[in-house]
Every structure is written in structure tokens, then in C-alpha cells.
Amino acid sequence: MQKPPQAVDFALKETSPNIGAGAVPGDKLSSTYDLVEQMQYLYVRVVKAKDLPGKDVTGSCDPYVEVKLGNYKGITKHFEKKSNPEWNQAFAFSKERIQASVLEVYVKDKDVVADDLIGRALFDLNEIPKRIPPDSPLAPQWYRLEDRKGNKAKGELMLAVWMGTQADEAFPDSWHSDAASVGPDAVSNIRSKVYLSPKLWYVRVNVIEAQDLVPTDKSRFPEVFVKAVLGNQALRTRVSQSKTINPMWNEDLMFVAAEPFEEPLVLSVEDRVGLNKDETLGMCMIPLHIVQRRLDHKPVNSRWLNLEKHIIVDGEKKEIKFASRIHLRICLEGGYHVLDESTHYSSDLRPTAKQLWRPSIGILELGILSAHGLMPMKTTKDGRGTTDAYCVAKYGQKWVRTRTIVDNFMPRWNEQYTWEVFDTCTVITVGVFDNDHIHGGAGGSKDSRIGKVRIRLSTLEADRVYTHSYPLLVLHPSGVKKTGEIQLALRFTCSSLINMLHMYSHPLLPKMHYIHPLSVIQLDVLRHQAMQIVSMRLSRAEPPLRKEVVEYMLDVDSHMWSMRRSKANFFRIMGVLSGLIAVGKWFDQICNWRNPLTTILIHILFIILVLYPELILPTVFLYLFLIGIWNFRWRPRHPPHMDTRLSHADAAHPDELDEEFDTFPTSRPSDIVQMRYDRIRSIGGRVQTVIGDLATQGERFQSLLSWRDPRATTLFVTFCLIAALVLYVTPFQVIALLMGLYVLRHPRFRHKLPSTPLNFFRRLPARSDSML
């Protein structure tokens, strides 16, 4: 089913940025950082000072440095009562905003009333050297301080001044002139940063049995189960079928843990003594760092652990030593890949254990250039709309965050990042967010999502630079909105073509997923736990990658019910089946002789294939080859992007969107919930009918030989005997030829009533008449 193209405003646009990729070979500027536009900066690194004179009454000084260029002014932290301070702070001034010809560096003494000038150093911008990586960093020098009149003052200042680009090592940690309004406490929240996801492990706990339990009430049969807790994850076994003091389970419990292991695994054996009332018979704690690590399916050694029990005596907790034990088999599974993303767009498929990794097959380079047309995401105190945008890119275990461009609807980042690629059937995700933690955002404030882009690496040609402007689309309760566009440059470089092509023969996931598969329910629960662990760990970094950002990038809520998404998936299935439907319609036209010449040609082809059956498979594969070659002319020239038509986002009903954005459990009024419940019931009724019809057809096939209808089975068995005898004595080619000619017969020899076999099949009994 061919869908109409989406609106031009939501489409991908090819761009031609002024980047180094494709420049003259050997040009130093294009050899590094070649997927972004060059941005020139004036760098000032203030290292330290010495022999500063005291300006206070006490004879001490509280020095700090002020770096001034035109209207821009950067300030270091100040030290109290220190004449030889060390700052080691860098400042970056954007060259395109420079309106002065002199750089002024002041050393001042912080005072309550007015800060005193200790001395200054002046630099002519025309005399400042230029540095291009990979040149070594410019060595800082000592400069004698001067007073305002140009006379020598007491004290010296060590600093380095140079012109460079955003490829400079000092760039990420520098104070930036375009963020001059950001207070010193919030500077860390606007810097670029690279993060690594924690190393995740599956923890398998095989609870085998327990021995010599001591229940409080010995007059009853104990109903014992084992409860296991790891952090905020809690699982329990079923109640043991052997209701004795030596219960058995032999049941697996699966958890997710992250290195470094911070919390132990706590196991407790509990007795269900009443409704919602459990009694702890003993417990033990197992630190995960001592647990055996398993790389394959070979069973690990089991172990017996002593159970401890605590009681309160005179307000004090005392431990009772007794002989109860629990038999376990516990291991860290290194052969699985811990899924922390949706399987449809995973960025990493490697197993946890590094020993099992295959060599990389290439390099992915991403240049985050700029955005334009961004919408105002918040309002300042004076009522003006503003956006403080930054980007986050995630591929594999590596997350990158660009610096925040303050108060700009057309931010230019021009930052380039690199990832190793181990599998091309993976997806890189780039998200754009508004930083709400610059100007003292409230504790509960969240960074707003502006939009995101997903790019599957297998759709990229090797060694080609893709430069496109991607629309940033966000779904709101009021509908889909375009919040701007982001310009990216992308290049996948293949290091080994043979290894990359050989990768297509390997299973998508590590082999443990197929040797010892986990159930779908288990994988969903474990994925949710893994997402929570990753978001919690990254939110504790500095600057934090906040929980709402990580959850949006990982699509935490992709499993929630959505009427819009259900419709989109239905039409995706119809799109897949549309080819078969088109072939069916074409064959129906052949059978009905709509075009006699085509039908005659099909008759001739059919007769040739029947007489020479060895040509059937070569003909099929040759036909597929020709279709592939023909479609090569119309192959996609750009990466895929978010499609509003495919997602049914541009035609969704407001109530469907309101339902999609509803919380879980619902927070809507009872009448709306009742209406939606009735709608789900009506949809469920249709699905139920379709499933019932499918079951009926299957049961009719079963009843052919089940003698449920003795006359129908007698007829079918007799037909099978006659057919067997005829086929024994008649060549198969004759049978195939007669059947083909019968199917392709002229409409003059057809009638509109259903065929005899179909009439017979529809009369067969099903079990639907036994349904209540």
C-alpha cells in the first residue's frame, strides 16, 4: 500500500556545509575535525601568579583574574590570603564576535567595597600566535604586571594566549564568551562531555533447595519460598511443592547489575503463615564481586550457604546461629548482551564479557554542526522566549553531550565525535534538548526535549560523507510539531569489507541468547531494570546526564499502548502484504483473460516450466536478480528519518493523542476512561472474531481425518485413495499441466459459484459450536 509522501516541511534536506571533508588532500585544516565547520577562538589559559603584593590592611591579598575582550569578561575563582595562587583556567572568545583589538588581563584583589587592581597585562590581537592540533600545546609564559599607567607593578602572571579552533584540547573545559551570562555555579552544566554507560551483567540465581529449616509453628506444614533482592529489584520463587523443612525449587531468578557492584544480593527464605503474612526463616547476603563469571552455557559449581536469623532482645538485634542452609548456583552471565534499548534500534549487540567481542569492522564519525528554526522552550523573567540548546548522541556504550549554546535559536556547535563500529545493523540516536539548569532552575525542573534523529548504519554507504538537515519532530497532545532542524555530517569508514560482509551471516545477538534463551516477559522486565540503572548512574555524573534525557534517548515508554502506533503498525503490515495482494490481482486478471496476449504468454511460460522443471528455481532467482538491478536506479540516496505519515502522527485524533500521553495508571476523569475502555472493548471484539475465524479454519483442517463428520471424512478418505492410485500411474508433469490449464481456463468455462473443494471445506465441522 503506497502512502503519499509527507509534508515538505517534515522532509529531509541535503546541505552543503563548509567542512573539511573532501578538501584538497594534505591540507592540515581538513585532516582533522573534517566533518564540522572551522570555528576560530581566542584562547587564554591563566595558570598562576607569584609575588603578588598585599592590598588589604592586613597586608594580604585575595587575588582573582579578570580576562576582558571588548564587552566580554571572564573571571577566575578567587583565593583568600594567597600571594602565589594557581588557577589553571581557560577562556575561549569566539573570533566572529570579537570587536576589540586588545586583550586585557587584570589581576585584582577581591574586597568588600571595591576590588583593588594589583596589575594588568595587555596583548595586541594581531600579535597572537595561531595553533592547530596536533601541534603541541603552547607553553605558558611569565608576564610582568603593569599598573594602569603602564608602569611596572609588583607581581608576575603566568598565562598562554593563542588563536585556535574547536578542535583544541582546551575547548571542552574552557569558559566561553557566548555563555557569559551563566553564573560560575552553572558553568559545569553547559560544558561538553563524554559519558560511558556502566558495564551491565545479568545475574542468574538458581535456587535449588534448602535444608533443616526451623519454622516457628511446627504443627503445620511450611509453605516456603525464597525472596531475592538486589538494589530495587525483588523477585521470589514459587512456593515449594514439598511442604517440609527440606524444600526444593530448582528455579532461576534473573537480575541486572552494573559495575562497580555497589549492593549485595540478599536472599531470604520465608514461610507463608497466613494471608499477606510471611515469616523470615533465615537470610544471607552475597557480595557480587566474589560471584563466578560465566562466558558459556557450562553449569557453574553449586554452593551451600548458611542462613542467619536475627531476633530483637531488649531492643537489641541479636543473631541466632543455627544449622539451616540453602543450596544455590549463582553466576554473572558474560555471554549475554544486556538489552537496555528497544531491540528495533539497538546501538550495541555485543556480549558483556570483553573476551567474546569480535574485532571492530569500522569507524563511525559524527559532526554535529548546527540547528536552526528552534522554537522557544521557556520564558525569561521579562517574558521573552528563549532556548538553551544542547545535543546528546548515543551509540554503543558511549554517550556524548555537546556544550550548551545559551539563548540562541540558531546554535552552532560544530563538534565532532567518533565511535568504533562492531555491527552495521545498529542505530545511532541524536537528541536535542533545552537546558533548564543554567539560571538556577528549580530542583524539580526538567530539560525539555526538542526532538531526535535515528540513523541506521546499515543504510549508509562506506566512506561517503552524508550532510543533511534533519527535521526535529516532537509529538504533543495537540499533534505533531516541528521544533526546528538539526544539521549533521556523518561518515562510516569500513576497515575490513570481508569482515563486514561476513557479519551478515552471524546471529544478531550473542549465542547464549539462542542456547539458553530468555522468555519475552523476562527480557522486558530486565530491559526496564537495565534502563533504570543506566539512567540512575548517568544522572550521578558531573555534569549529570539527566534521567529524562536518558529515558527519551532509550525510548523507555515505547512499550506503552498507543492507538496511533497500533494503526501505524497495521498499515505497515498492509504495506508488506501489498506486494502479495498486487500479485494476486495480476494473476486474477491473467485467469480472467483481461489481456489475452499476456495470458497466452503465461500459458507458454507455464508449459515450458512444466516440461523442464529444472528451470523453475533458476528462473525465480534470475527474476529476483533483475528486479534488484532494476530497483538499484531508485535506491535511497539519503539516510532514513522520522516519517510523520508512516507514524500516523499527522492524522491522529486529539483523543488518541491524549490517551497516548496519559500517565500509568490513568489520571483522566472516569467518563473519559469509560469511553476509552469501551473503545478498546470494541477493537478487542473485532480481534477476537478474527482469531476465532482463524481457529475455525484450522479446526476444519483437523476434522478432515478426525471422523467428527463421518460422511465428510468418508468422502475425503475415498478421494485420497483414488488420488493416490491416479498419481501412482500418472506422471506428475501431466497432473501439473492439467491443473495449471484448469486454473488458467477461459472465463467462458467458468461460473461464479464457489468451487466444489471450497464448498466441501466450508461444510466441515469446527469446535465453535462447543463454545459457551
- Considering the domain architecture, whether residues 411 and 520 belong to the same structural domain is answered as yes
Number of H helices, E strands in the chain: 13, 32
Per-residue model confidence as pLDDT tens digits over 236-279? 999 988 888 889 999 999 999 999 998 999 999 988 877 778 88
Closest CA to 89 of 48, 61, 42: 48
Q: How far apart are the first and last CA of the chain?
A: 39
Judged against a pLDDT cut of 90, whether residue 174 lies above it is answered with: no
Q: Which bin fits 452, alpha (ψ -120 to 50), beta or left (φ > 0)?
A: beta
Last residue of a domain, one of 318, 333, 348: 333
Residue 119 lies in a domain: yes
Burial degree of 404 (CB within 10 A; 0-12, 13-18, 19+): buried
- pLDDT for 57 equals 64
Across residues 596-609, what is the average pLDDT? 90
Residue 559 lies in a domain: no
Across residues 518-530, what is the average pLDDT? 92
Judged against a pLDDT cut of 80, whether residue 5 lies above it is answered with: no
Across residues 64-92, what is the average pLDDT? 88
- Considering the domain architecture, whether residues 725 and 766 belong to the same structural domain is answered as yes
Across residues 282-301, what is the average pLDDT? 91
Closest CA to 93 of 184, 36, 166: 166
Question: What percent of the chain lies above the pLDDT cut of 70?
Answer: 94
Q: Which residues have C-beta within 8 Å of that of residue 66, sequence separation ≥ 6?
A: 73, 74, 75, 76, 105, 106, 107, 108
- Distance CA(178)–CA(438), nearest Å, equals 13
- pLDDT for 744 equals 85
- Distance CA(660)–CA(560), nearest Å, equals 8
Judged against a pLDDT cut of 60, whether residue 467 lies above it is answered with: yes
Judged against a pLDDT cut of 60, whether residue 442 lies above it is answered with: no
Among the ranges given (483-492, 510-519, 629-638, 651-660), the one the predictor scored with the smallest mean pLDDT: 651-660
- pLDDT for 112 equals 76
- Distance CA(473)–CA(652), nearest Å, equals 15
Which stretch of DSSP H or E encloses residue 391? strand 389-395
Among the ranges given (78-82, 367-371, 597-601), the one the predictor scored with the smallest mean pLDDT: 78-82
- pLDDT for 6 equals 63
- Considering the domain architecture, whether residues 547 and 589 belong to the same structural domain is answered as no
- Distance CA(495)–CA(499), nearest Å, equals 9
Across residues 751-766, what is the average pLDDT? 87
What is each CA distance from 129 to 32, 161, 290, in whole angstroms?
Answer: 20, 8, 56
Paired sense of beta strands 412-421 and 362-372, if any:
antiparallel
Pairwise pLDDT comparison (579 vs 60), residue with the higher score: 579
- Considering the domain architecture, whether residues 144 and 221 belong to the same structural domain is answered as no
- pLDDT for 102 equals 92
Judged against a pLDDT cut of 70, whether residue 317 lies above it is answered with: no
Neighbours of 677 (CB within 10 A): 11
Residue 4 lies in a domain: no
Q: Which residues have C-beta within 8 Å of that of residue 599, sequence separation ≥ 6?
A: 590, 591, 593, 744
- pLDDT for 25 equals 43
Paired sense of beta strands 427-434 and 389-395, if any:
antiparallel
Which stretch of DSSP H or E encloses residue 671? helix 670-702
- Distance CA(723)–CA(743), nearest Å, equals 19
- Distance CA(559)–CA(521), nearest Å, equals 12
- Distance CA(16)–CA(226), nearest Å, equals 63
Pairwise pLDDT comparison (184 vs 292), residue with the higher score: 292
- pLDDT for 314 equals 56
Per-residue model confidence as pLDDT tens digits over 108-134? 888 877 788 889 999 999 889 988 777
- pLDDT for 173 equals 82
| Confidence grade of residue 105 (pLDDT, cut at 50, 70, 90) | very high
- pLDDT for 183 equals 66
- Considering the domain architecture, whether residues 322 and 426 belong to the same structural domain is answered as no
Helix, strand, coil distribution of the chain in percent, nearest 5? 30, 30, 40
Burial degree of 464 (CB within 10 A; 0-12, 13-18, 19+): exposed
* The total number of structural domains that make up the chain: 4
Hey, what amino acid is at 355? Q
- Considering the domain architecture, whether residues 546 and 594 belong to the same structural domain is answered as no
Residue 30 lies in a domain: no
- Distance CA(180)–CA(75), nearest Å, equals 10
Pairwise pLDDT comparison (82 vs 458), residue with the higher score: 458
> Which residue range is the domain that position 105 belongs to?
40-165+168-185
Judged against a pLDDT cut of 90, whether residue 549 lies above it is answered with: yes
- Considering the domain architecture, whether residues 541 and 631 belong to the same structural domain is answered as no
Residue 762 lies in a domain: yes
Is the previous residue joined to 665 through a cis bond, with omega within 30 degrees of 0? Answer: yes
Give just the sign of the alpha carbon dihedral 464, 465, 469, 474. positive
- Mean pLDDT of all residues in the chain? 87
Any bridge partners for residue 326, and if so which? 210, 305
Closest CA to 458 of 422, 485, 430: 422
- Distance CA(664)–CA(342), nearest Å, equals 20
Per-residue model confidence as pLDDT tens digits over 9-65? 777 888 888 777 654 444 444 446 788 888 889 999 999 998 888 776 666 788 899
Judged against a pLDDT cut of 70, whether residue 316 lies above it is answered with: no
Residue 562 lies in a domain: no
C-alpha cell at 590: 491473467
- Considering the domain architecture, whether residues 412 and 295 belong to the same structural domain is answered as no
Neighbours of 322 (CB within 10 A): 15
- Considering the domain architecture, whether residues 369 and 501 belong to the same structural domain is answered as yes
Per-residue model confidence as pLDDT tens digits over 199-234? 999 999 999 999 888 887 777 888 899 999 999 999
Question: What percent of the chain lies above the pLDDT cut of 90?
Answer: 42
Across residues 510-516, what is the average pLDDT? 93
What is each CA distance from 768 to 119, 219, 703, 712, 772, in whole angstroms?
Answer: 96, 51, 13, 18, 9
Per-residue model confidence as pLDDT tens digits over 18-27? 777 654 444 4
- Considering the domain architecture, whether residues 210 and 73 belong to the same structural domain is answered as no
Give just the sign of the alpha carbon dihedral 322, 324, 327, 331. negative
Across residues 566-584, what is the average pLDDT? 90
Burial degree of 118 (CB within 10 A; 0-12, 13-18, 19+): buried
For residue 227, the SS3 value is strand
Long-range contacts of 650-654 (CB under 8 A, 24+ apart): 650/6, 650/7, 650/10, 650/479, 650/480, 652/479, 652/480, 652/563, 652/564, 653/563, 654/477, 654/478, 654/479
Per-residue model confidence as pLDDT tens digits over 685-735? 998 999 999 999 999 999 999 999 999 999 999 999 999 999 899 888 888
Hey, what amino acid is at 356? L
- pLDDT for 310 equals 64
Residue 370 lies in a domain: yes
- pLDDT for 1 equals 46
- Distance CA(685)–CA(769), nearest Å, equals 18
User: In what side-by-side order are the strands of the sheet with 427-434?
Assistant: 193-196, 398-401, 389-395, 427-434, 448-456
- Considering the domain architecture, whether residues 538 and 411 belong to the same structural domain is answered as yes
Residue 16 lies in a domain: no
C-alpha cell at 366: 559524527
140: domain CATH number is: 2.60.40.150
pTM for this predicted structure: 0.84
- Considering the domain architecture, whether residues 232 and 161 belong to the same structural domain is answered as no
Which stretch of DSSP H or E encloses residue 673? helix 670-702
